[in-house]
Amino acid sequence: MMKSFYSFLVLLLTCVIVNAQNITQVEYFIDTDPGYGSATNVPVTPAAALNDLTFNVPLASVSNGFHTLYVRVKNANNKWSIVQNRPFVKLALAVNINRVEYFLDTDPGYGNGISVPFTAGTSLTDLTFNVPLTAVTDGLHTLYVRVRDSNNKWSLVQNRTLVKIPAAPNIVQVEYFVDTDPGLGNGISVPFTPAPVVTDLNFSVNVSALSNGNHKLYVRVKNALGRWSTTLNQDFSVCNLTAPVANAATNVTTTGFTANWNAVAGATSYEVQASGDDFVNFSTATTTDLFVNAISMPANTVIKYRVRAIGATCTSIFSNIISVTTLPKQNQTIAFEPIADKTLGGSSFTLGASASSGLAVSYTAGNGKVTVSGNTVTLVSAGRTSITANQSGDAAFNAATPVSQSFCVKPAKPTISIGTQHAETIVLTSNATTGNQWFKNGVAISGSTATSLTVNEPAIYQVRVTVDDCVSELSNEVPIVITGIEPNSLTNAMLYPNPVESELYLTGVEVLLESKVTDLAGREHTIEFKQNGNGYQANVTGLTTGMYVVLVRDAQAIKHIRFTKK
């Protein structure tokens, strides 16, 4: 094949001038030096050194063939460098290939070879053609190929050596022998149809006379020329143990079954294989029993098993294959009793849900008002919450439908603190910041839901707290007693000093039959009035600072007298 092309040359030039003077001029010429400064100029930016300078060299007027490109530079001191040169070749432009021919062994002359059909072009790749060899003698030959272009120029001749092999003679005999060679032609003949090539030949080998154990089978063939092939061999084993008979599976469950088979005389154990993909993959068990329990199988799946007997010296072939389908997964339910309402501050409690499968139940809390660890619930804050019992299933059971139980964490029983006890009005305060409802004499006070309640009349007060729909117990009763002074009873009875610090005196009472000291919250205090001359005297140092009321009774009247303890 002939191929022409036009080549551009790119020149890389590096020049270093002594004393680092700027390079001010670059010029080149081809083949013949026209003299310094008279060659073709290359535009450059003056610099102390030129690196990687690239420029184009027009070759249109240059003839085809070998040439030399010369380059030199001049510095600012008008000094020229040594001339650098590079040889190059200008090739003719490519033309179409218009003929391909070949010949064998002897050249018939240009244009007289055997023509090869093809599509003309400037190049040929992957051209394939047939070479008839019918008239060619058997043996070694050389194939030659050449091409011609539209300028009537021939390429160099390419060649390849080939060998024509005689037609293969028919194979006329196939024989085999086991272990010991009886000699060529003395093996056991195998029936077949003679042909140059024999493939996929199947035949039976009688092994009834062979001992148990390992043996080697040899096979060879002879052709019509009387020549024998090399002998091929294959190892095999003989075992006179019969294969077990596998029986139907029993005890079939969602995750397994029992594989069964009959006994084999001479067997010392049995190997069982179980597979879900026709024994591409399988699990194996070895046992001396006539059964094996297959476990950890997938539910509702077809499993196949087979068995073979193992003897002292050999192993039988496999039994028939038994197919068994494991049961589908069973459904299960969760029994979860309702949870009684709890009171915040109470102890943790345990849950007792159970699954019909017997599998363990897990729990999740519906919100942060409780926490669940295992089956233990801890109360965190008041309000309605829920706990869900779950069972996700396993190889034998489907997941159960979750069961939820809702219950209240009731607010803790509130407490009431009393402020400014001895003033004309009293402020009651709940320890709960929200959700309060105040009660007076057991009846809810409409609109009284703040943390504090101001009271100015005697009664029994309580408070209750609600979060969501969860209601606490009523607080302890707080009795409030606000008394006035009866003007017509014991008119002259009086207390002094008032305010008092330690000793309190009562006058204007002839015979004191009863006295009782209470604070404005209605709480009674033990204070004893003792007769002192014409009056009575009591020590009140044990009272706290505040306002109190003394009930005084004689044989005719009752009077309430206020005093203040300093």
Query: What CATH number should be reported for the domain holding residue 285?
Result: 2.60.40.10
Answer yes or no: do 403 and 430 share one domain: no
Determine, yes or no, domain membership for 207: no
Q: Quote the pLDDT of residue 424.
A: 60
Query: In three state form, how does the secondary structure of 86-100 look?
Result: EEEEECCCCCCEEEE
Quote the pTM value.
0.45
Residues 476 and 501 grouped into a single domain: no
In a domain, 487, yes or no: no
Query: What pLDDT shows up at residue 13?
Result: 40
Residue with tokens 């409030």: 480
Whether 286 is covered by a domain: the verdict is yes
**Is 231 inside a domain boundary?**
yes
Residue 364 scores a pLDDT above 50:
yes
pLDDT greater at residue 457 or residue 276? 276
Q: How many CA atoms lie within 13 A of 132 on its CB side?
A: 5
Mean pLDDT of 276-284: 94
- Do 299 and 360 sit in the same domain of this protein? no
Q: What confidence score (pLDDT) does residue 11 get?
A: 38
252 and 317 share one domain: yes
Identify the pLDDT of residue 14.
Answer: 40
- 346, 374, 408 — which closes off a domain? 408
Is 205 domain-assigned? no
pLDDT of residue 474: 95
Write a three-state SS string for 274-320: EECCCCCCCEEEEECCCEEEECCCCCCCEEEEEEEEECCCCECCCCC
Say which residue, 333 or 521, is predicted with more confidence: 333
Query: What is d(CA 522, CA 536) in angstroms, rounded to the nearest whole number?
Result: 24
Lowest mean pLDDT among 290-294, 313-317, 448-452: 313-317
Q: pLDDT higher for 457 or 193? A: 193
Give 161 or 482, the one with higher predicted confidence: 161
Number of domains in the chain: 7
Query: Please, what is the average pLDDT of the chain?
Result: 89
Q: Which residue has the higher pLDDT, 493 or 470?
A: 470
> Is 60 exceeded by the pLDDT of residue 157?
yes
Q: Based on the domain organization, do 270 and 286 belong to the same domain? A: yes
443 in the same domain as 502: no
Q: Is the pLDDT of residue 18 over 50?
A: no
Question: Which token pair is 222?
Answer: 């002879």
Give the pLDDT band of residue 420 (cuts 50, 70, 90). Answer: low
Please state the rounded mean pLDDT for residues 203-228: 92
Q: Report the CATH number at residue 142.
A: 2.60.40
**Does residue 121 share a domain with residue 176?**
no
Closest CA to 295 of 394, 391, 398, 392: 394
Asked if the structure places residue 7 within a domain, the reply is no
Q: Is 150 helix (H, G, I), strand (E, B) or coil?
A: coil
Q: What DSSP state is assigned to residue 399?
A: P
More confident of the two residues 239 and 4? 239
Please report the pLDDT score of residue 519 as a whole number. 81
The residues pairing with 86 across neighbouring beta strands, listed in sequence order, are 69
Range of the domain at 133: 97-164
Report the 10 Å Cβ neighbour count for 479: 13
* 47 secondary structure, DSSP code: B
Q: So what's the pLDDT on residue 20?
A: 61
Range among 17-31, 51-65, 333-347, 485-499 with highest mean pLDDT value: 333-347
Residue where a domain stops, chosen among 73, 90, 107: 90
Do residue 500 and residue 542 come from a single domain?
yes
pLDDT above 50 for 500: yes
Nearest Cα to Cα of residue 221 among 197, 250, 253, 252: 197
Residue 215 DSSP code: E
Q: Is the pLDDT of residue 250 over 60?
A: yes
Return the bridge partners of 213, or none. 238
Share of the chain above pLDDT 70, in %: 93
Q: What is the pLDDT of residue 556?
A: 80
Task: Provide the 10 A C-beta neighbour count for residue 539.
Answer: 13
The stretch 116-141 carries a mean pLDDT of 90
Residue 1 falls inside a structural domain: no
What is the distance between the alpha carbons of residues 453 and 440, in angstroms, rounded to a whole number?
11
State the pLDDT at residue 421: 54
